[in-house]
Chains A and B, each alone.
Chain A
Amino acid sequence: MSQQVSIRDMFFEETEELLEALTEGLAQMHAGAHDDETVNAVFRAVHSIKGGAGAFKLTALVAFAHRFETVLDEVRSHRLDPDADLMRILQRSADHLTVLVDDARSGEDTHGAQTPEFLSALDACLGGPAEPELEDLDGSFGFSAITLDLGDIAPAETPSGQPFTIIFWPHKGLYANGHDPALLIAALADLGEVWAEIDLTKLPDLDGFDPAKPCLGWTIHLTTTESETEIQSVFEFVEGLCDLHITAQHPVISSDPAPEVLVFDIAPEVLVIEPSVAAPVAESADRSIAEARRADAAQADGGLSEKNVPKPTLRVDLDRVDRLINAVGELIINQSMIAQRVSELRLATDADVVTHVEDYRLLARDIQEAVMAIRAQPVKPLFQRMSRIVREAADATGKTARLVTQGEGSEVDKTVVERLADPLTHMIRNAVDHGLETAEARIAAGKDPCGTIHLSAAHRSGAVIITIRDDGAGLNRRKILEIARKKNLVSGDAELTDPEIDALLFLPGFSTASTISNLSGRGVGLDVVRNAVVALGGRVSISSTPGQGTEFTISLPLTLAVLDGMVVSVAGQVMVIPITAILETIRPGNEELHVVGTTDRLLSVRGKFIPLVDVAEGLGFARPPNHPEPQTMLLVETETQGHCALIVDRVFDQRQVVIKGLDTNYGAVPGVSAATVLGDGQIALILDPDALANNRVLAPADARSTTKQTEGKLLATV
């Protein structure tokens, strides 16, 4: 049973890849690439999904994929022209297929009701309802592709040049010498039109099967303007290693090259195993046969191009990767500790140990980067999904929109990619729903009636920057302010700058849509997006130009294992505050500090009053005696408390730190999110500004009174 489940999981994983290939292929076709290779790739993706789904009796999926495939087959055989209308239907069908796969995976039926609509759209393309033939439900994936695609390679147009028939039977020696029939056939393809047919008649039964004995032959029909000598030169290096017959034909190609035209003049000694054959030779021959078969299958399957052969990949348990990442983190720390010790020795810069330590540093960084790259994944699949969201959103709002993506190859941590899907979907929908104007309004403004959403990803100084830009009307700041006032999010007479007004969009419960649409505006707004991004250690910002559009910028860490932090000292302890939370560093003068009541203090920043949070106090640490009152503050942005100013003793520098959980060996600590190891081997706590700010509000003042100093050690009891 569990085996069944895991095979099923594997099917869905592969289906995901196939759906990606499908979306990509359709996007290429949409962009005008109607070559056979692209269309074939699209067809194959749908075909494989159908085949796999059939094996798991996912009938709804199979039925839809089948009809989809039928239409694609028509396109493939040039009976249907992939014009804009058809492309739209194909893309929408691909979207629906994705939905059906999701349904099949979760076992729910959320969109099944829409299937008939899509089916009739597909039928309309075929010019009438198609027969619901489902005969090749099972086992159709895999081998059938060979027969299907072989026909494609057949010269459909009138061949130019002289036709040749080449009968080619490799001997064992050909494989043993490392030759590959597939490469020879590919070389022939360079000369002209090639139609290769494999002869399986010599394939013995399984009991008579000898892996070391070649049993495959090919009949190759070549139409070329080159001479016969030229063809012979292709086989120059396999001379004597195969039976080769090249015959020039009259310019009529038999449309049915039946096996009986073949000449079976295989030398008998080839088929007999010589007792002297050494095992390694047999083995390598065996391997090369297998490779030849695979190559042959790939060739038959993928036309004559090898461009789309996927890179070999390895599925690895995520835990193993994380363990490796952890170990490498420790290696890096160990390296910096050694480097520090060596530098303390004040040796000459050309001392052996100094150069070795430097080499060690470079090596360790290399390993770290390589290991981090294992978890990194391109954002491409995520971006591809977004084009579907744009289409759906555009359909729902009656607008026309296209998605332009850039930097799809940018790689981010797997978890980041996964957790970014929801916020990105939300923002893309927002961009179409709120960002873009209607077609009429766009024409009136002198714009292209079809709106454009730009989605781009780029790496910038250890972070990945994702921007979502629409070319709509821009933010209506007057309306935003009006709504914010109405909802009591800002006071009635507050004067706000443009960026401040824009930032209001991120407040909880803010929604500008005057009517609640199906798409967005259900009260969950950009605050959810912001929370999701912040949870990933990122930040989101907004900028808008009236009449030209709005741009959202998400800045995310490349990995969740390290964090950009500001290294500070608090009550004599070195601590780290995540840089994403920090807005600015302030050293206020006395006149900017105000006291409310006896304890609460406020800081005025450009006319606004911001609560002060003494970090040492919040953590229950007492300052060492005679310690000067700290005057450095970090202005931070928190989810629940808005802006806060954290009081720290000193700010040292900004650096990347490796995150170490406290939970494994100890447990959660209030106000602290994790720990890290500094270059000197000491542990520094990573503070959680949100919890600190909350603590200020929730923790009673008595937390302070119990703080005591014990024999020089800073100990706090609660």
Chain B
Amino acid sequence: MQPFDSNSATEVEFVTFFTGGQSFSIDIRQVREIRRWSAVTPLPHAPAEVLGVMNLRGSVIPIFDLAVRFGLPPTADNVRNVVVIAAYESQTVGLLVEAVSEILSVSPDRIQETPDLRSDNSRQSIIGVIPVEDGMTRVIDLGAVIQTGKRTLQ
């Protein structure tokens, strides 16, 4: 699996954010906007990482708690929490995170393939890692996050 063309000289941009004390990032082209956290309406029979739905200018969008998604304790209620609104194919979803840190511009060859991870959930939803100054950031496969959410539903 080679999600990015390593030969390409152009740099790829990522939005990085913190959740559950870890750094994650997402392809900037998938990010639509970043919003303040507001109360959600819980959905019945939803997997644990689906917090509920919120109103984005009249559209009903599901909000995923990324921390729960990666097996970390649920994100604690905090007014500083933000929601990253991202689009995947025709779907629009929101990801609850603790803080958005920066926009990272890296050349594709700096993205390393995910090392063998034990947790299925994590391995399926992370397409690579990027080394940064104070460690690394995990590149999220948004499609897998959404899909797993659905699979658990059934």
Residues of A within 8 A of B51 (CB): 713, 715
A669 close to B58 (CB less than 8 A): no
Residues of A within 8 A of B50 (CB): 666
B45 close to A683 (CB less than 8 A): no
CA distance A74 to B53 in the complex (A): 68
B60 close to A669 (CB less than 8 A): no
Residues of B within 8 A of A713 (CB): 42, 51, 74, 77
A660 close to B60 (CB less than 8 A): yes
Q: Could you tell me which residues of chain B, from 46 to 72, have a CB within 8 Å of some CB in chain A?
A: 46-48, 50-51, 53-55, 57-62
Query: DSSP class of A's interface residues: helix, strand, loop or mixed?
Result: mixed
Q: Does B150 contact A (CB under 8 A)?
A: yes
Give the distance to chain B from A333, nearest Cβ to Cβ, in Å: 6
CA distance A326 to B92 in the complex (A): 16
B48 close to A711 (CB less than 8 A): no
A664 close to B90 (CB less than 8 A): yes
B74 close to A683 (CB less than 8 A): no
A621 close to B59 (CB less than 8 A): no
B45 close to A711 (CB less than 8 A): no
Give the distance to chain A from B62, nearest Cβ to Cβ, in Å: 4
Residues of A within 8 A of B74 (CB): 710-711, 713
Residues of A within 8 A of B57 (CB): 330, 334
CA distance A573 to B62 in the complex (A): 16
CA distance A333 to B58 in the complex (A): 7
- Contact status of A665 and B43, CB under 8 A, knowing A333-B58, A677-B55, A711-B76: no
Q: Does B41 contact A (CB under 8 A)?
A: yes
Give the distance to chain A from B84, nearest Cβ to Cβ, in Å: 15
Give the distance to chain A from B146, nearest Cβ to Cβ, in Å: 9
Residues of A within 8 A of B90 (CB): 664
B42 close to A683 (CB less than 8 A): no
Q: Does B132 contact A (CB under 8 A)?
A: no
Of chain A, the residue at the smallest CB distance from B93 is A665
A675 close to B44 (CB less than 8 A): no
CA distance A671 to B44 in the complex (A): 8
Q: Does B153 contact A (CB under 8 A)?
A: yes
CA distance A632 to B62 in the complex (A): 30
Give the distance to chain A from B2, nearest Cβ to Cβ, in Å: 29
B46 close to A685 (CB less than 8 A): no
With an 8 Å Cβ cutoff, the count of chain A residues facing the other chain is: 38
Q: Does B39 contact A (CB under 8 A)?
A: yes
Q: Could you tell me which residues of chain A, from 670 to 712, have a CB within 8 Å of some CB in chain B?
A: 670-672, 675, 677, 681-685, 710-712
A665 close to B91 (CB less than 8 A): yes
Q: Does A718 contact B (CB under 8 A)?
A: yes
Q: Does A262 contact B (CB under 8 A)?
A: no
Give the distance to chain B from A647, nearest Cβ to Cβ, in Å: 15
B42 close to A573 (CB less than 8 A): yes
Q: Could you tell me which residues of chain A, from 322 to 345, have a CB within 8 Å of some CB in chain B?
A: 326-327, 329-330, 333-334
Q: Does A620 contact B (CB under 8 A)?
A: yes
Residues of B within 8 A of A620 (CB): 44-45
Q: Does A556 contact B (CB under 8 A)?
A: no
Q: Does A589 contact B (CB under 8 A)?
A: no
Residues of B within 8 A of A682 (CB): 39, 41, 55
Q: Does A186 contact B (CB under 8 A)?
A: no
Residues of B within 8 A of A685 (CB): 41, 43-44
Q: Could you tell me which residues of chain A, from 559 to 597, have a CB within 8 Å of some CB in chain B?
A: 573
Partner of A715, one of B42, B58, B62: B42
Residues of B within 8 A of A334 (CB): 57-58
CA distance A385 to B43 in the complex (A): 44
**Per-residue 0/1 for A604-626: is the Cβ within 8 Å of any B Cβ (1 yes, 0 no)?**
00000000000000111100000
A675 close to B150 (CB less than 8 A): no
CA distance A669 to B62 in the complex (A): 12
Partner of A683, one of B48, B53, B91, B153: B53
Of chain B, the residue at the smallest CB distance from A331 is B58
B41 close to A665 (CB less than 8 A): no
Using a CB–CB cutoff of 8 Å, the interface residues on chain B facing chain A are 38-48, 50-51, 53-55, 57-62, 74, 76-77, 90-93, 150, 152-153
18 A-B residue pairs with CB within 8 Å: A327-B58, A333-B55, A333-B58, A660-B59, A664-B59, A665-B62, A666-B43, A666-B53, A667-B150, A675-B41, A681-B55, A683-B53, A685-B43, A713-B51, A715-B46, A715-B48, A715-B51, A718-B45
**Pairs A-B, 9 closest by C-beta atoms:** A330-B58, A619-B44, A683-B41, A666-B62, A675-B60, A660-B60, A665-B61, A677-B55, A683-B55
